[in-house]
Amino acid sequence: MKKIFLADHAGYCFGVKRAMKLAWDELENRENKNIFALGPLIHNKQAVEKYEEKGLITINDIEDIDSKNVNPKEVIIRSHGVAKEVYDQANEKKLEIVDTTCPFVKKIHELAKESYEKGKKIILIGDKNHPEVIGINGWCDNKAIIVKELKELFDIELDYSVEYVVVSQTTMNEREFDVIIDYLKDKNINMVVNNTICSATKVRQQSAREISNKVDLMIVIGGKHSSNTQKLVSICKESVDTIAIETKADLIDFDLGKYDTIGVTAGASTPDWIIEETIEYIENGVI
Ligand code: SF4
C-alpha cells in the first residue's frame, strides 16, 4: 500500500479563492450582461473552462471589447491585478469593473505608486513577462528595474544619488529573493526592502520542501503557465524525483508502481476537485 502525503496549503490560496467566488457570483447574476475576463481568470485550463461554460468571455486585450454592442458590459480584473492604464481604458469604454485583484497585490501597487511619486526608484524582483509584474510596473509608469535572477543585476548601473524601493512578485522563491537582496546590500545603495512575497506562497513552498524530503516521488499539480506551480516543481526537484501534471490524466503513462511514498502538492490556481481526483487515481489507479 502506497503512502501518500498531501502538503498543507496545496491548491487555491486566499486571493484566488476570493477572486473565483467574486467572478462566479457575477456569472450567476449576469442577466443580459456580457462578462469579460481580461486574460484567463487563473492559470488553470480546466477551471477556466467551467467559467466559460457559464458564460464568461475570456479576452486578452480590453480593446477586444466592442463598445457598440448594446448589452451592458462588465470586465473582471483577475487576482494578478493590472496596470493603472487598464482601469483608465475600462472607464473610457464605460465598462463596469469587477476588481478581483488580490488585496496583497493591491498593496504592492500602492507601494510602487507612492514611492514612484516621491521620486524613488523601484526595483521589482520577479518575472517581467508575468501579468502580476506587468501590472505592478504599470503603477510606477513602467519604470521599474525588473530582475528575476541575480545575474540580471550585473549589467545594471546602480544610482547612488537616489533611494530605491524594492518589492517582489508575490510568488517569488524566497531563497532567490534573499540572494538578490544580499547582493544589493553589498552594493551599499540607499534602499528600503519590502519583502512582498505572499505568506501563502511561503508556507506552500515550505511544506512542499518538507514533504519532498521524506518521499520517493513528488507530484506537483498545476497549470503549465502557473508561475507558482513551476516554482514548486523546482523546489521539489532539489530533493527528489518530481513530476508536474495538470490533471490525473497526465499520470496514465507514468509508472507509479516503483514508488512507495508519494508526496502531492498543488499550485495556488489548482481547484480542490483536481487534487482529490489525482489522489484517488494514485490510490486506486482508476481514471
Ligand atoms: S498567492 Fe498570495 S498574493 Fe497571490 S493571489 Fe494568492 S493570496 Fe494573493
Binding site feature residues: 13, 43, 80, 102, 130, 170, 198, 226-228, 269
Gap between the Cα atoms of 20 and 80, Å rounded: 12
pLDDT of residue 286: 62
pLDDT of residue 84: 96
* 247 pLDDT higher than 70: yes
For residue 102, the CA-to-ligand 1 centroid distance in Å is: 6
Nearest CA to ligand 1 atom 8: 15
pLDDT tens digits, 155-173: 999 999 999 999 999 988 8
Coil vs helix vs strand at 3: strand
For residue 111, the CA-to-ligand 1 centroid distance in Å is: 16
Gap between the Cα atoms of 277 and 275, Å rounded: 6
Region class of 235: left (phi > 0), else alpha (psi between -120 and 50), else beta: alpha
Give the pLDDT mean for 113-121.
98
Q: Give the nearest ligand 1 atom to 103 CA.
A: 8
Coil vs helix vs strand at 38: strand
Fold matches, 3-12+199-284 and 14-102: no
* 276 pLDDT higher than 70: yes
For ligand 1, residues with CB inside 6 Å are 13-16, 79, 102, 104-105, 170-171, 198, 200-201, 268
For residue 144, the CA-to-ligand 1 centroid distance in Å is: 21
For residue 160, the CA-to-ligand 1 centroid distance in Å is: 33
What's the count of helices (H) and strands (E) in the chain, helices before strands?
Answer: 9, 12
132 is catalytic: yes
pLDDT tens digits, 123-165: 999 999 999 999 999 999 999 999 999 999 999 999 999 999 9
Higher pLDDT, 5 or 32: 5
pLDDT tens digits, 7-24: 989 999 999 999 999 999
CATH number of 14-102: 3.40.50.11270
Domain boundaries, the chain: 3-12+199-284, 14-102, 104-193
Nearest CA to ligand 1 atom 2: 198
pLDDT of residue 103: 97
Coil vs helix vs strand at 193: strand
pLDDT tens digits, 41-70: 998 899 999 999 999 999 999 988 876 666
Q: Give the nearest ligand 1 atom to 201 CA.
A: 1
pLDDT tens digits, 189-226: 999 999 999 999 889 999 999 999 999 999 999 988 88
What nine digits make up the cell of 129? 513577462
* 1 pLDDT higher than 80: no
The pLDDT mean for the chain works out to 94
Coil vs helix vs strand at 39: coil
pLDDT tens digits, 74-113: 999 999 999 999 999 999 989 999 999 999 999 999 999 9
Which of 21, 105, 169, 197 best tests ligand 1's pocket when mutated (most atoms within 8 Å of CB)? 105
Asked: is 3-12+199-284 a CATH 3.90.1150.10 domain? The reply is: no
Give the pLDDT mean for 225-233.
90
Confidence category of residue 227, pLDDT binned at 50, 70, 90: confident
Binding site feature residues for dimethylallyl diphosphate: 43, 80, 130, 226-228, 269
Q: Give the nearest ligand 1 atom to 199 CA.
A: 2
Nearest CA to ligand 1 atom 6: 15
Q: Give the nearest ligand 1 atom to 80 CA.
A: 5
pLDDT of residue 2: 82
Q: May I ask the CATH class of domain 104-193?
A: alpha beta
pLDDT of residue 30: 87
